[in-house]
Structure 1
Amino acid sequence: MSAGWKFEVIQKTLQGEDNRLSVSMLCEVAGVSRSGYYRWVKAEGTREEREKKDRGEFELILKAYNQRGYSKGARGIYMCMVHWNPPVVMNLKKIRRLMDKYGLVCPVRKANPYKRMAKALKTNHVADNLVGRKFTEYGPRKVLLTDITYIPYSGKFAYLSTVLDAYTKQILSYVLSDCLEVDFVLETVKKLVEDHGIELTKETLRHSDQGCHYTSTSFIRLVNDKELRQSMSRKGNCWDNAPQESFFGHMKDEIDVSECTRYREVKTIIDDWMSYYNNERYQWQLAKLSPNEYYKYITTGDYPLRGIIKERGRKEGCSSCDEAGAEEESKDDKAHRETGEEI
C-alpha cells in the first residue's frame, strides 16, 4: 500500500460528515507522518497537472499499442512512435511507467501445447552444422534460417514454412499449407530464389533442423540445384536455430486465429501479419527499424530516423548489435542477442 493511497484515504475520511478523528490520529493509524500528509495536500494541484499530462501521453502509447491491430511491448511502442509523421520521442522508462500505471500489459507467450512435427524418420541425409549459432557473423543474405510451425484453428491445423535472414530478420519467403507434404517446403525455397536469387551467393547457408522435410531427397536435390549450401542444427537442439524459433513465438503472440473456421481466413491473417512484420514491426536490435528498413539502411547508409534519434546501428558484416540511441543493455538483453533471439 503506497503512502499516496494512505494520504488519499485520510483526506476522504477527514471530509466525511460524521468524522470525529484528527489528522494526527489518522496519520498514526496509517503509519505516515503528519508533515508528509500536509505536503501531499499542498501538492494536489501539481498532481492533477501531472495526471492530466500522464493521461495525454498514455493516449499516445495506447494508439501505438493498437496500431495495425497487433499488441506491442514498451520497446515496440517506442519504435512505433518515432516512425510517426511527425515523430513522437518518449523516454522508454516513461512508457513502461505509464503502461504499469494504467494497466496496459503486453501478452505473455504461452507454451505451445502442440508438439512439433515428427522427426522420427531416420535418414543419412544430415548436413553438418556450419552456422554454429553465428547468426549475425557474416552480414545479410549469408545465413538463411528455415523451419515449419503449426497454426491450430477450429480443431484443424495450418502449416507455415518460412525463410528468415538471420542478420536482417527479414522474412524472405513463406508458404502456408493445409497439409504437411514436402511440396510446400520446396515451394518456399523456389519463392526465395525467385524473389531474392540475385542477392544470394554460393556462400549462402540455408540452415534448418533435422526434420524429415529437410532431409528428404527432393529437398536436398532442390537446394543443390539452386547452389545453396545446407546446414543443420544438432538433433533436438532448438538453440541452434534460435532466431527462427523466436520469430514463430512472436508471431503467435500477436496473431489471433481463434475466430477462424476456414483455411483461407487463416491465410488472410498470415499474409497481413507478414507484410506488417517486414515493413512496420520495428525491432530494437535493428536500429529501431523494421526488417526491410534495416536492410535498406545497411546497404545504402540511408537512416530514416536520422535527426530524430541518435544513429547507432549495426554495420554490414559486423557481428555486434549496437542499439540506436538505446540505454545500456541489460544482461538479459545480451543473452537474447547472443543467441540471436528477437527482442
Structure 2
Amino acid sequence: MSELTKVAGITRQAYYKWLKHEPTKYEIEESEILQLIKQLENEHKQSVGYDKMTRLIKLSHQIPYTVNKKRVIRIMKDHSIKADYRQPTHKRIQAQQTYEAENILNRQFDQTAANQVWVTDTTELNYGIRLNKVRLHVVLDLYGQYPVSWLITPTETAEGVVQV
C-alpha cells in the first residue's frame, strides 16, 4: 500500500481518510441538484441555460431546499453542462439582378456638353453615437460634375440606385 501512495503522491493517512470519508450534507445536496439538472437537460434537449434551469428546479418541487442561480451556474460549469442555442437565421432577400453596362467611356471623363454622360455612385455614411448607417445614392453629370439626383436609403440595394 505504501508503494501505491508514493506513486500517487499522497500519504497513507490521506488515503485512509479518503477511504472512510462519508459525504457531507452539502455534497449530498450537490449530487441531488446535479441529477435534477441532468434530468431537466435531457427533457429540454440541452437547450436550457442557467437562468431557466434555476426556474425549472424551483418549479419541479423535487428539492425541498432553495437553490439559487449562483449554485446552478457553478454546478453546470463544473460538469461542463452548456445550453445548445441555435443561432437565429436571417431572412435575407435573395440577390437581385445586377445592372452592368458596357464600358463606353473608356476612362474619357472630360465631356464637352451637359447631359451627355451620367454616372452613379453609392456611398455608405455613418452617423450618431451608435454609428447608424445609411447609403447615399447619387447620379452625377460628368460635364459639370454636379449631382443630377440623389437618394438616401437605410440599406444597400440595387433598387435604391435604380430609383434615383
What TM-score comes out, normalization by structure 2 length? 0.42
What TM-score comes out, normalization by structure 1 length? 0.24
**Normalized per residue, which structure has more helix?**
1
Q: Which has the larger radius of gyration?
A: 2
